[in-house]
Amino acid sequence: MTSPATFSAISNVIGGPVPDESRQGRLRQRYDASGARLVAGCIPVRFSGCVQSYQHVQVCMVTSTSGNGLVFPKGGWEDDESVESAAQRETVEEAGVRGVLEDSPLGVFLFASGKHVAGSAGSDGSDGAPGGRCKAYMFVMHVAEELPSWPESRDRQRIWCSISEASRRCKHPWMREALHAWVRRNGWQVLLLEAGATANGGAAAAVGATANGHAAVAVPVVPVAVEAGGQVVSEPLVGGLAAGSVVGLQQQQQQLQE
């Protein structure tokens, strides 16, 4: 019999079997040393032409199951999988797309979820993260396969849109900041300027409340090491880039102005 971990790994492979249902329960859920729930997800993208430019990129989003708005696929990182496998699995389950992840995550984004408040029992009887605190590792996935049916296809609608539309319709501020981090990674800050966002990463601590109880506190950080027990050691990002890359960001901005 194929173990859940093995099947998840196989189902992440392009052309592999499609899982019948999403993983349920929190028995294998990872938490960091402070008790924050660890989450993994993807921003799925594809290019409509041969040139990989922001004019040709399309972003995949899904409808939220708890209200209006669009979100990127994400979910709990479990202890029998790598963070990359968790991000791919959640993307297959929620959006029904598979592909190749970029080498490094966009960062780790902190947010508070109303679904996981302290003292509230999960489906397995365990307590949620204290205060509903979560740390989300977000990756970019270059989509190679779009499935006609997937585990949550009855509950979610898959939508492809431009970067600008994705930024405008994104339900959670921390997810929007993850998208902006990818924009900055590619030197497309002109999109942020057009949208009225700061090109130097000013949205490092956006605080607000969303319709489904998510108190969004987007604080992007880059993981330096992830220990076996799930403890995360990290350093701050500056505008979606490691602190040592600030010079590169300034050079990109100067090139745009020229």
Tens-place pLDDT, residues 184-241: 999 998 888 776 654 344 443 333 333 334 444 444 444 333 323 333 333 333 333 3
Could you tell me how far CA 69 lies from the centroid of its own chain? 16
Cα-Cα-Cα-Cα torsion 203, 182, 141, 122, nearest 10 degrees, comes to -10
Domain count, the chain: 1
User: If phi over 0 gives left and psi between -120 and 50 gives alpha, with beta otherwise, what is residue 230?
Assistant: left
Query: Is-contact 220 237, C-beta < 8 A?
Result: yes
Does the pTM surpass 0.85? The reply is no
CATH number at residue 99: 3.90.79.10
Query: Is-contact 147 158, C-beta < 8 A?
Result: no
The values of phi and psi at residue 249, to 5°, are: -65, -45
Digit-coded pLDDT (tens) for 30-58: 999 999 999 999 999 999 877 778 888 99
Question: In Å, what is the CA distance from 97 to each residue of 90, 115, 146, 247?
Answer: 10, 25, 5, 35
Residues of the domain holding 202: 4-15+24-257
pLDDT reported for residue 127 = 42
pLDDT reported for residue 65 = 86
User: If phi over 0 gives left and psi between -120 and 50 gives alpha, with beta otherwise, what is residue 47?
Assistant: beta
**At residue 142, what is the residue type?**
H
Higher pLDDT, 221 or 246: 221
Stated as kind and residue range, the H or E segment containing 185 is helix 173-185
Record the tokens describing residue 173, joined without a space: 């501020």
